[in-house]
């Protein structure tokens, strides 16, 4: 058990946006968490970390190998590297003696999951996965109601993630998650392993038996380009003013996704719209969405049958008007239905004694405007508490409790690619 009178000390590995979000807890609660080092190949991002958290500039390294060449100098690691780097960076950190808060997805194959699980057990270290949706008050309260037996035994779980058109374009069509080859993960795992985790968490204790999935890149491809579309929004497009995917409108006029578009280490200091428009002439984010090098799906459906006979579905829809996550859980005694972004859900129960056939309870939960319903910093809070020797919350995302959803995702992608149902018990070993 660590000394609870002192803050937990953490080193950031991979100084990207997600690491900064988690590490921001240190600025809000310096008595609980302190950032004391950074590992990143980019000197600009290392300096940004030093400036943001007021840490000793001596404690910066180009790579994990440099860090682990010495005994541990902190309690834990926030690993926010890209998907394909998670395993190769986390294993030496565990061997060196660090506990790790690891961004999802954990790895890019099921074999990597098993390898990391075995290594964490061998080293007796904690690996906590950043499945932040579990910590959103919306899902936490749903889980508590199910655990309390409010709707009986689960029969069916239906979830959906509607990926807004601007997010779809910036990350999965134009951006660095637009290709499995470059980022290491399928669209399903990069965007929806949260949702698959929620399904397995709500149906805790049940293992998948059969998995099927369908999906494709159907819309964001050259033959779907509207008449008049060019190859770049600010160069040769005659429909830019009316196009919802216009890079000029989204990234310059409305200043959306600035942290992904105008990266200082790539473009330097940007002070005017003229500079931004010039950058879009060559930046990957200035390309027409129908003329990119993307190869990931833009819609996918997953179907699961669990060992107890309950079923689940998840739908990922890319390019929707409203970004949202929906949930509908049916049990033997009632049902729960809601949308994360609304900040409430309803519990319905059969009641033949009323004219409405059922009773309905509306459950209000706090909700924030961030993309994970307030879960990000609650996850970090739980990590800090566990590191301090306190009991984990109901949302605890230890590696052992967080990999079943990953396994469903890998099997679903195999089903989609091979156009067949996966018998999980016999194939997903």
For residue 425, pLDDT over 90 is answered with no
Tell me how far apart the terminal alpha carbons of the chain are, to the nearest angstrom: 35
- Give Cα 384 distance to the centre of its chain: 20
Residue 395 confidence (pLDDT) above 50 = yes
Bridge partners (DSSP) listed for residue 335? 330, 348
In this predicted structure, what is the pLDDT of residue 33? 97
Which residues have a Cβ under 8 Å from the Cβ of 223 and sit 6 or more positions away? none
Residue with tokens 């994990």: 64
Tokens of 287: 């390309």
Token pair belonging to 402: 């967080």
Structure tokens at 145: 């109601």
In this structure, the chain runs to a length of 429
User: Is pLDDT at 1 greater than 60 in this prediction?
Assistant: no
Helices 110-123 and 404-418, axial angle in degrees (round to 10): 160
The burial of 305, by beta-carbon neighbours within 10 Å (0-12 exposed, 13-18 middle, 19 or more buried), is given as: middle
Q: 382, exposed or middle or buried, with CB in 10 Å at 0-12, 13-18, 19+?
A: buried
C-alpha–C-alpha distance, residues 327 and 161, integer Å: 9
pLDDT value of residue 369: 64
Q: Which CATH class is domain 8-129?
A: alpha beta
CA max distance for the chain = 72
User: What is the Cα–Cα distance from 413 to 185, expressed in whole angstroms?
Assistant: 10
**Residue boundaries of the structural domains of the chain:** 8-129, 134-220+294-427, 222-286
Residue with tokens 């080859």: 181
In the prediction, which pLDDT does 127 show? Answer: 97
Residue 272 has pLDDT above 60, yes or no: yes
Distance CA 116, CA 102 (A): 11
Residues 84, 196: Cα–Cα separation, whole Å: 19
Q: Looking at residues 315-338, what average pLDDT do you find?
A: 96
Cα–chain center distance at 21: 12
Residue 423: its pLDDT value, please?
Answer: 94
Answer whether 413's CB lies under 8 Å from 59's CB. Answer: no
Decide if 237 contacts 192 (C-beta within 8 A): no
Which residues are CB-neighbours of 289 under 8 A, at least 6 positions away? 169, 173, 174, 220, 245
The least confident of 255-259, 304-308, 354-358, 386-390 is 354-358
Q: What is the pLDDT of residue 315?
A: 98
Confidence at residue 371, expressed as pLDDT on a 0 to 100 scale: 60
Q: Tell me the C-alpha distance between 363 and 125, whole Å.
A: 38
Lowest mean pLDDT among 111-125, 232-246, 351-365: 351-365
- Is the pLDDT confidence value at 385 over 50? yes
pLDDT of residue 191: 92
**What is the tens place of the pLDDT at every residue in 7-25?**
999 999 999 989 999 999 9
* 8-129 matches 134-220+294-427 in fold: no
| Percent of the chain topping pLDDT 70 | 97
**CA separation for the pair 337, 327 (Å, rounded):** 6
φ and ψ of 277, to 5 deg: -65, -35
Q: What is the DSSP string of 286-337?
A: GB-TTSS---S-SEEEEEEEETTS-EEEEEEEEEESS-EEEEEEEESS-EEE
pLDDT, tens digit, for every residue of 38-94?
999 999 999 999 999 999 999 999 999 999 999 999 999 999 999 999 999 999 999
Token pair in block for residue 48: 């940004």
Q: How far apart are CA 138 and CA 13, in angstroms?
A: 30
pLDDT at 111: 92
Angle at 377 between CA 144 and CA 387, to 5 degrees: 85
pLDDT at 264: 63
**What is the separation of C-alpha 19 from the centre of its chain, rounded to a whole number of angstroms?**
12
pLDDT at 345 over 60: yes
Residue 428: per-residue pLDDT: 56
Mean pLDDT of 255-275: 84
CATH homologous superfamily for 134-220+294-427? Answer: Dihydrodipicolinate Reductase; domain 2 (3.30.360.10)
Summarize pLDDT for 206-227 with one digit per residue, the tens.
Answer: 899 999 999 999 999 999 999 9
pLDDT in tens, 97-143: 999 999 999 999 999 999 999 999 999 999 999 999 999 999 999 99
- How confident is residue 287, by pLDDT bands cut at 50, 70 and 90? very high
Tell me the average pLDDT across 246-262: 93
pLDDT at site 181: 86
- State the helix-helix crossing angle for 137-147 and 187-202, rounded to 10 degrees: 40
R_g of the chain, CA atoms, integer Å: 22
């Amino acid at each position: 058990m660590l000394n609870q009178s002192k803050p937990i000390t953490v080193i950031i590995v991979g100084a990207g946006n997600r690491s900064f979000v988690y590490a921001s807890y240190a600025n809000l609660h310096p008595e609980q968490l302190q950032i004391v080092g950074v590992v990143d190949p980019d000197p600009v991002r290392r300096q940004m970390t030093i400036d943001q958290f007021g840490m000793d500039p001596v404690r910066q390294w180009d790579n994990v190998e440099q860090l682990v060449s010495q005994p541990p100098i902190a309690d834990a690691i926030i690993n926010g590297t890209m998907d394909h780097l998670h395993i190769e960076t986390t294993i030496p950190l565990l061997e060196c003696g660090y506990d790790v808060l690891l961004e999802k997805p954990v790895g890019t194959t099921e074999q990597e999951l098993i390898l990391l699980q075995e290594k964490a057990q061998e080293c007796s270290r904690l690996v906590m996965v950043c499945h932040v949706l579990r910590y959103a008050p919306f899902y936490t309260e749903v889980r508590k109601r199910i655990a309390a037996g409010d709707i009986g035994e689960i029969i069916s779980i239906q979830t959906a993630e509607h990926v807004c058109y601007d997010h779809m374009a910036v990350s999965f069509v134009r951006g660095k998650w637009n290709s499995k080859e470059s980022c290491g993960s399928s669209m399903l795992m990069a965007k929806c392993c949260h949702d698959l985790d929620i399904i397995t968490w709500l149906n805790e204790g049940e293992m998948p038996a059969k998995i099927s999935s369908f999906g494709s890149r159907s819309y964001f491809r050259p033959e779907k380009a509207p008449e008049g579309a060019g190859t770049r929004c600010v160069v040769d497009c005659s429909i830019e003013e009316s196009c919802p995917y216009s890079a000029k409108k989204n990234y310059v006029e409305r200043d959306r996704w600035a942290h992904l578009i105008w990266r200082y280490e790539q473009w330097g200091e940007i002070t005017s719209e003229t500079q931004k428009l010039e950058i879009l002439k060559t930046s990957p984010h200035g390309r027409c969405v129908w003329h990119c090098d993307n190869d990931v799906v833009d819609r996918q459906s997953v179907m699961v049958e669990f060992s107890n006979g309950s079923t689940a579905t998840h739908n990922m829809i890319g390019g929707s008007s409203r970004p949202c996550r929906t949930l509908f859980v049916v049990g033997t005694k009632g049902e729960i239905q809601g949308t994360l972004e609304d900040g409430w859900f309803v519990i319905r129960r059969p009641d033949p004694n009323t004219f409405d056939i059922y009773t309905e309870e509306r459950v209000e939960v706090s909700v924030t405007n961030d993309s994970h319903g307030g879960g990000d910093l609650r996850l970090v809070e739980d990590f800090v508490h566990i590191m301090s020797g306190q009991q984990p919350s109901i949302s605890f995302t230890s590696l052992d409790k967080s990999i079943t959803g990953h396994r469903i995702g890998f099997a679903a992608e195999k089903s989609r690619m091979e156009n067949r149902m996966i018998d999980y018990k016999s194939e997903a070993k």
